[in-house]
Structures are given as C-alpha cells and as structure tokens.
Amino acid sequence: MFIEVNDIKKSYGEGGSYVQVLKGVTTGIEKGQICAILGPSGSGKSTLLNTIGGLDTIDSGSIKISNIEITKLNAKQLSLYRRNYLGFIFQFYNLVPNLTVKENIQVCEYLTKSPLDINELLEILGLTEHQKKFPSQLSGGQQQRCAIARALIKNPELLLCDEPTGALDYQASREILMLIEKINQKYGTTMLIVTHNTAIKEMVHRVIKIKDGQISEDYANSVLKLASQLEW
C-alpha cells in the first residue's frame, strides 16, 4: 500500500467546544490510483486530507506514506516530506498574485532537483498562451490549471486536491477533471480528491465516503468512466 491510514482520530477544541472530527478512520490506497473522498460538508474530508498531507496533526492512530510514519515527523521533516512527495491543489488556487503563470509554476520548480519539463506542462495544461499573464488576468479555470501545473512541476508521487472544482462552473470543472485523469495516466500520480461532486466517483479508482467522521463506504471501481463522459 502506498498510503496506509490506521485508526486515526482527530478532535478540535476543549470543553464545551470539543468536537471529534475523525473518529477512527482506517483505509489504504494503492500507488497510482485516483481516490475520491466524498461526504457532506463538515464530515471531516478536508481534515483527513490535511492529516495525510502533514498539515494537521492527529490525536491517535498512524499514517504511513511510502512506509514513512509521518505522524512521527517533526515540522522540519514534515516540510521535507511534503517537498519530496506532495503536490497540493486548493479550492481557491492560492497563486502568488504578482507572479506570472510561468513564474508561479517556477516557484515550485525550485523545490525539486528533477522537475518536469515546464513547457510541456504548460502545453498539457493549455497554458502556453497565458504563461506571461498574472493570475488576476485569468479565469477561474485557468487559474486552477495554473495551480495544478504548480503542484505537478516537481512531479510529486501524491497529489492532494481539496475541492479542486469547488469554485468553478460546469465546463471548467469538467476540463479540470479531464486534466486530472490525463495526468494520472501520463505521470502515474497517486491522487486524493476531496469533493462533494458525486459525479466524480464514476471516474476514480477508489471511492471513500465519509460521514460524521467515519468511513461510511469504501470501494474500488472496476470500470472507470472517462471524465469527458461525466455528467452532473
């Protein structure tokens, strides 16, 4: 297993404001798979993703990525782990506003010794003609594509996406999903996608449904739909 999550529990707050967000989550994901994490708002999806990404700590349990127990890493080692393994994509892109598309990608190119070819990536993501533009000059979809390129440039083994299409319209969302699919095929990147777009579950290898901090459903698809064929 590439990702092994074992009985993780996570709570926030103390006393009156105490909430248990993850109540013992156990699962494993194979390398190269796309996995969708579905569930209602507030169910703990982002929390799960963040703990796997080493951005958030857990109260108990264990998370192993590529056999590294990341819950035992200190802050510095966690940065290194993220630097070496992870790419992140957020709902609101989080691009550096006063850097161009290409420069935004280069920001993360800096983090690895063996980056992907930036022009090829621009091409794949359809950003070649926009590469000199600033984020404010782009549409939401274009910005998200730029964010994807930024996450991919260092060729991460694991790509974590938190609602990547959450702020996008139908068409743009579909394009993003098609790209995700394409990248998975081309680079073999393992992907965890948090979403409340249930249509996605048909195009991914694995579906994990979370409800109230626990896995309510966890299954693999034997037949995958192409992203271009999804409808919602």
Partner 1 sequence: MILNKRIIRELKENWVRYGALAFLIIFSLGLVVSMAGSTDVVNYTIDTNNEKNQLEDGEFSVYVPLTKNQQMELEKMGAKTEAAFYVDLPGAEKSVLRVFKNRNNINTIALEEGSLADQIGEIALEKHYAEKHGIRVGQSIEVGQKNYQVTGTGTVPDYSNVVQNVSDVLADLKQFSIGFVAEAEFNQLLAGDSNIEYNYSYKLDGNLTATELKEKLVDLDFDKTKVANKYMQEIINTIEKGKNDLSGGVKDLADGTQKLANGTSALQQGSNELADGAGSLANGTDQLSSGLGELTNSNATLNKAADDVFQGMIAQVNSEFENIGMTVTVTGDNYSSVIDSLIKTIDGSDANTVEVLNTLNTLNTMKAQLDSYKAFKEGLRAYTNGVESAYSGSAELSAGADSLYQGSVTLANGANTLSNGSASLNSGMGEFKSQVTNFINENMDYQYVNLITFLEAGDNQRITSCKSDAAINKNSALIAGAIIITLIAYMISVFVIHTIDKESAVIGALYSMGYVKKELLRHFMILPMLIVAASAILGTGLGFVLIGENIKENVAYYSYPGYAMVFPPYLLIYGVLLPVMIAVLVNYLVINSKLSMEPLKLLRREKKQHQLANIDLKEMGFINRYRIRQLLREIRGNITMFWGLFIAILLMVFGFSIYGSVSAYVNNVASDVEYNYLYLLKYPMETAPNDATKAYTESLTADLYLTGGEMDVTVQGIDDKNPYFDFPLDGEKNDVIISDSVANKFGYKVGDEITLSDNLEDRNYNFRIKEVVNFASGLYVFMDIKEMRELFGQEDDYYNTLMSDHELDIEAGRIATVITVDKMVAAARQMFTMMYGLVITILGASVLLFAIVMYLLVKMMIDKSTFSISLIKVFGYNEREIKKLYLGTTFYTVALSTLIAIPVSKMIINKIYPYMVSNVSAGMNATMAPQSYLIMVAIILSTYVIVNFMIGRHLKKISLVEILKERE
Ligand X SMILES: Nc1ncnc2c1ncn2[C@@H]1O[C@H](COP(=O)(O)OP(=O)(O)O)[C@@H](O)[C@H]1O
Interaction site with partner 1 (CB under 8 A): 50, 53, 55-56, 76, 79-84, 86-88, 90, 92, 94-99, 103, 106-111, 136, 150-151, 154, 167
Binding residue for ligand X, selected from 27, 33, 36, 45, defined by CB under 6 A? 45
Binding residue for Mg ion, selected from 33, 46, 143, 184, defined by CB under 5 A? 46
Between the CA of residue 95 and those of 98, 104, 144, 185, what are the distances in Å? 9, 7, 9, 25
As measured in angstroms, the least distance from the Cβ of 84 to ligand X is 25
Binding residue for ligand X, selected from 1, 7, 42, 137, defined by CB under 6 A? 42
Span of 11-19, 70-78, 102-110, 141-149 interacting with ligand X by CB under 6 A: 11-19
Q: Name which of 41 and 136 has its Cβ closer to ligand X.
A: 41
As measured in angstroms, the least distance from the Cβ of 95 to partner 1 is 7
Residues 81-100 that bind ligand X (CB under 6 A): none
Give the other-Cβ count within 10 Å of 113's Cβ: 5
Binding residue for ligand X, selected from 33, 43, 189, 190, defined by CB under 6 A? 43
**Cα–Cα distance for residue pair 148/151, rounded to 1 Å:** 5
As measured in angstroms, the least distance from the Cβ of 182 to ligand X is 26
| Angle between helix 140-152 and helix 170-187 axes, rounded to 10 deg | 20
As measured in angstroms, the least distance from the Cβ of 219 to partner 1 is 29
28 binding partner (options partner 1, Mg ion, ligand X, none; Cβ < 5 to 8 Å by kind): none
Interface size with Mg ion, residues (CB under 5 A):
1
As measured in angstroms, the least distance from the Cβ of 157 to partner 1 is 13
As measured in angstroms, the least distance from the Cβ of 63 to Mg ion is 18
Judged by the rule CB under 6 A, the positions of this chain that interact with ligand X are 12-13, 19, 21, 39, 41-47
Judged by the rule CB under 5 A, the positions of this chain that interact with Mg ion are 46
